[in-house]
Chain A
Amino acid sequence: MTDIIDHLAGIPPGSALDEARRKRAEARVHAQASHDLLLLPADPGGFELAERWAVAAFVAGLHNQAETAAYYAQGLAERAPALAAKVADAAARGQATGPHGAYPAGPLSKENTPAPGFAADAGLLGPRLAAALDHAHMLVFHPRDASAEHLQRLVDAGWRTAEIVTLSQLVAFLSFQIRAVAGFRAMLAA
């Protein structure tokens, strides 16, 4: 099976970077396993595949890296075609810079920067998916603003504890994978 980071970064087999990645074989295998468990689970439980790919397409769209954004947009279009354009529109509206956010009041307050605002269209996406995209937008651009109230909003929209853990892992994993791909692409271009 294709290693998705190799694929997205365009790492040629046998190249110096391929050899370097294979010297971190456990990281390579388990980054792939993370992708597979989060996006192609045998038993998705209450966090269904269409939602997982919608969140992934949204998060990848926010990062604006062409290869990863196209991969997750395509994956969503294959699994939930009715959502593809709506999620692409949300990602286009959600473009921002980061990391931003506020610190607990004190000496770091001078480093506070305003959070980019975003609200997904709950009428279009449904309240449960809209809440997930709002949460993902916060995690991508201003994670230090996270609070118990953010989790309450997910709970109020129907997200159960275990599903929130998996949703958080999905957004956080993508934050890693997209950066690893970007970093490796820069190595190949250097």
Chain B
Amino acid sequence: MTETVHHPEGHAIPNEFTKAMLDWLPWLEPMAEADLTPRHMAGLVDASRAKSAYFRLLAHDPEVLGARTRTDKDIFYNTQGGLPRAERELAATAASRLNGCIYCASVHARHATTYSKRGEDVQRLLDDGTGVDLGERWNAVVAASVALTELPMTFGPAHVARLRAAGMDELAIADAIQAAAFFNWANRLMLSLGEPTPQG
């Protein structure tokens, strides 16, 4: 166990929102791959995440990482009813854009693009911010994500009514809330334990 804080140097620092693939450099020492026990692998959930410095850093508390990851996966990947995948990713991208997590926004803007086929609209959200006009249904999702992300929170019954008017049922609205809320978890970890750099 080391208490050394890393100050990565000599790498490019992304200074705008992008859909390009980014890497992430930790400020604290991640677990070494060789030191990962079955307990840590259970926390990583997917064995392939042992290659990620981010997940190996979070693996210092493997049980909490495991609970975080299983919460994340169900909110975003459980497609039994509810909000379409594209709009869950839109809510995540909007929260990341507002909080200022360039890394998180890049990942979820790519996912939103893949599932919606509306890459230009997603790019406008990255370029112009959460005030952009993306049509009423997407505007309602972005507005909900913003109202849950800002402090003081302004999310209220009017946001729920707007989502309902856009065609969403109870499960879809709950999905939008959980997707936006979850990225207030994810953004804070990604922003505060390391920094992004262009891949390659």
Contact = CB atoms under 8 A, between A and B. Distances in A.
B73 A186 contact: no
B80 A23 contact: yes
A73 interface: no
Contacts of B93: none
Query: For chain A, what secondary structure do more than half of its interface residues adopt (helix, strand, loop), or is it mixed?
Result: helix
B68 A97 contact: no
B119 interface: no
A102 B74 CA distance: 32
Query: For chain B, what secondary structure do more than half of its interface residues adopt (helix, strand, loop), or is it mixed?
Result: helix
Interface in A106-127: 106-108, 111
Interface string B111-144: 0000000000000000001000000000000000
Contacts of A143: 99-101, 187-188, 191-192
A19 B70 CA distance: 19
A29 B184 CA distance: 19
A187 B70 CA distance: 24
Interface stretch (A75-83, A85-93, A171-179): A171-179
B60 interface: yes
A144 interface: yes
Nearest to B185: A176
Nearest to A141: B151
B69 to A, nearest CB: 8
11 contacts: A16-B170, A23-B82, A24-B74, A27-B71, A29-B70, A34-B67, A151-B27, A151-B28, A151-B193, A168-B188, A190-B161
Given A31-B71, A186-B156, A187-B170, 12 more contacts: A16-B170, A20-B82, A23-B171, A25-B74, A26-B78, A30-B70, A147-B27, A165-B60, A169-B61, A179-B149, A182-B153, A186-B159
